[in-house]
Amino acid sequence: MKDNIYRRMTKESWRRDRFSAVSFTAFVAISVAMISLTAMLFANLTGAIEHLMEVAGTPDFLQMHAGDIDTDALEEFAQNRPEVADYQIVRFLNLENSILMLGEESLLDSTQDNGISIQGDGFDYMVGLNNELPIVCPGAVYVPVCYESMYHVKTGDDMRIGNSKLTVAGFIRDSQMNSMMASSKRFLVCEEDYKNLRSLGSEEYLIEFLLTENADTNAFKTAYEDANLPMNGPTITRPLIKMMNTLSDGIMIMIILLISVLVLLISLVCIRFMLLTRVVSEAGEVGMLKAIGISGKEIRNMFLRRYSWLVLAGAGLGMVISGILFHPLSSQMQKLYGVSANGLDRYLYAVLSAVLIGSIIILFILRILKKLNEMTALKALTGRVEEGKKNSSMLCIMLVTAIAVFLMLIPSNLYSTLSSSEFVTYMGIGNAEIRMDMRQGNEAGEDFETIGATLSEDKDIKEYALYQTSLIPVRLDDGTTMNMLMEQGDHSKFPVSYSQGHAPVREGEAALSYLLSEELGCFPGDEIFVKTEEEYEKCIITGIYSDITNGGKTAKLFSEYPDNKENIMWRITYVTLTDEANREDFAVRYAARGAEVTDIASQVQGTYGPTLNQVWQASILVKMVSSLIILLVIMLFVRMMIANRRNMISIKKAMGFRSLDIKKTFWKSCVPYILAGIILGTVCGCTFGEKICGTALKSLGAEGFRFTYNMWSISMNMLIGGFAAILAIYLGSNGITGIKAVECCRGGE
């Protein structure tokens, strides 16, 4: 008997309100699709990167070096270190971008350090698109895969290096330099062509080590520095390489994950509203079941079985949708990094995600259905069941609007920040217009001093500062010593972003990057001892700054003019020009004096351009998704409110009220909550959104991250959210027109 009553109730429920059943299934499907898609993309990205690094034999420790090299000392060091499994020296011929052409396009405006190299002997391979080792013939060149679409290159095109011509034989993945966030790109050539082209560039060395499993990379780095081995260039470790590879596409996945979580929250709110409405509408049937002796637990299980089928259908549909969306969204990362070694992993993660979301929704339903225990047979049969607070529907409308506006603001604000000129200060770069790097070599110091004297007399310059980065021995309070990458100069002229304290402004003051500060446990007010000539001199830590370059572990030491001649890594100059200055003429003049002149805005665009493009696309996508969520969800709420108040609306019509008058009542009730939702979403997007993005960037060394707000963009998001909400109320309230005045006389339909 119970089963017959249950089947009749279920059949009647589906017949009376198909819209709610379809909406319920749709919310489950959207939630599962978004979370499963995030899991699949993340599993594919990390798996592909790990597989590429394994196939390519990515080194655990890499020291770039420009200048003379002592191979005997390196070999002796490698043989005496038990954690070294293998080591090699790879040559890299750094070429001027002005002499490089891919097809018909010049690399003159490229912000990358481009060069040619040959294949590594025992590891650090550049692999083809099927992860094979290319066979490079004389006259052939393999191009970094990221340049294929950037410069519209195809196999068979010509690559010109000065007056020499090579033929593009294919494309390679370079596990070290695949990401645009890596500042260098390697073209693969054969040994013969490398020798022929050697006179066209400056040769650098990649000193690479493979370490044994569980070896301490930091301890090895310290040992390498203490041995006074070649280190005229940045030091890179395997975790840093993996982070750079993950970061570009990882930002897109993080945005999708955030959207997924918030869509799930919206879905739970809607499911709760629909479920409570259904329980109230079936109160008479529930009362009848209780009157014949069926327990509240059995009735709850009846409802649970009904909605469990909908959850199962929604989860299945969601997985199909995520599978359809996966391929177009993952095509770019598969091109850059290939596929995971085990392609089944992503499907396993997708299934686990679907099970997790389905379980969360079912547990949520169980919690809501506990209201059935509070419903007595008498209350249910007489229709005296509480529908909840009168304003619960309005609060749902406000919450959905707030979450949707919040969703729209995060990628918009992130894009505004990453594309602003101030963002360079979070990268550890001074907020200047132009950066000039001195070419490495024996005469670099003389060129640096000459340029310094010339800059002081140049009328095109508004402000400039000279900086020199050296590896300097430092002793901490506890007596431990280490080599610290320190930038010397006047840091008050082009300051970076400080999360604590301020830049060093006098002799005996220094500042630490966030990651270095955390590693050493040193903060403003603490002391370190910096070695100058024969003794250690005390320095007070004045501030902690953001830096995501060079592994995020650097320091800044005040010096009116950098004059340390030992262990120099590089020399740079920051310049801001006057309004009347000609930038192109300035660049030509100082390039002739031995400087590599770079426009900082172009450098950031070149480095983060692909990431910015992804964030912009995500911003557009989120606007569309959020607007659709507002439209559908608020329409659903309005329709449910009208259905619940159908009898009252009919009575008003019988009393002479027009449909337009009743609609105005709904408008007056909903609009204040919509405005409150827009304001709440905007405030949260500009505060909590900043904290969310800041937490992610903090792990890279960008401490104290702050949004750069674009008021036009914020206003547009608010208007889009408001328009979608108003349109939803307008469309949803049209149902009032179909309610007849006579319905109240016959007790409703």
- Segment 523-558, tens digit of pLDDT: 899 988 888 777 888 899 999 988 776 667 788 988
Kind and range of the H or E run holding 330: helix 296-337
Mapped onto helix, strand or coil, the DSSP state of residue 122 is coil
Mapped onto helix, strand or coil, the DSSP state of residue 443 is coil
Mean pLDDT of the chain: 80
Please count the other Cβ atoms lying within 10 Å of the Cβ belonging to residue 71.
Answer: 11
Does residue 272 surpass a pLDDT of 60? yes
For the residues 595-602, what does the mean pLDDT come to?
A: 76
pLDDT in tens, 351-384: 999 999 999 988 888 887 776 555 544 444 444 4
Please give the share of the chain, as a percent, with pLDDT higher than 70.
82
CB-based contact 491:558 (threshold 8 Å): yes
Of the two residues 88 and 330, the one the predictor is more confident about is 88
pLDDT in tens, 296-324: 677 677 778 778 888 899 999 999 988 88
Which band of pLDDT confidence, cut at 50, 70 and 90, is reported for residue 208?
Answer: very high
For the question of whether the overall pTM of this predicted structure is more than 0.85, the answer is no
Q: Spell out the domain ranges in the chain.
A: 1-67+232-388, 68-214, 390-423+607-749, 440-593
Which band of pLDDT confidence, cut at 50, 70 and 90, is reported for residue 162?
Answer: confident
CA dist list (Å): 523 to 243, 621, 696: 26, 42, 22
Q: Looking at the DSSP assignment, which residues form a beta bridge with residue 511?
A: 543, 556
Burial (Cβ within 10 Å: 0-12, 13-18, ≥19) of residue 295: exposed
Which two three-digit tokens encode residue 661? 């008058």
Does residue 511 surpass a pLDDT of 60? yes
CB-based contact 245:101 (threshold 8 Å): no
Q: Looking at the DSSP assignment, which residues form a beta bridge with residue 115?
A: 94, 186
Q: What local confidence, expressed as pLDDT, does residue 442 receive?
A: 43
pLDDT in tens, 567-580: 677 788 889 988 88
d(CA 472, CA 557): 10
Q: Looking at the DSSP assignment, which residues form a beta bridge with residue 93?
A: 116, 203
For the residues 399-408, what does the mean pLDDT come to?
A: 87
Q: What local confidence, expressed as pLDDT, does residue 335 receive?
A: 81
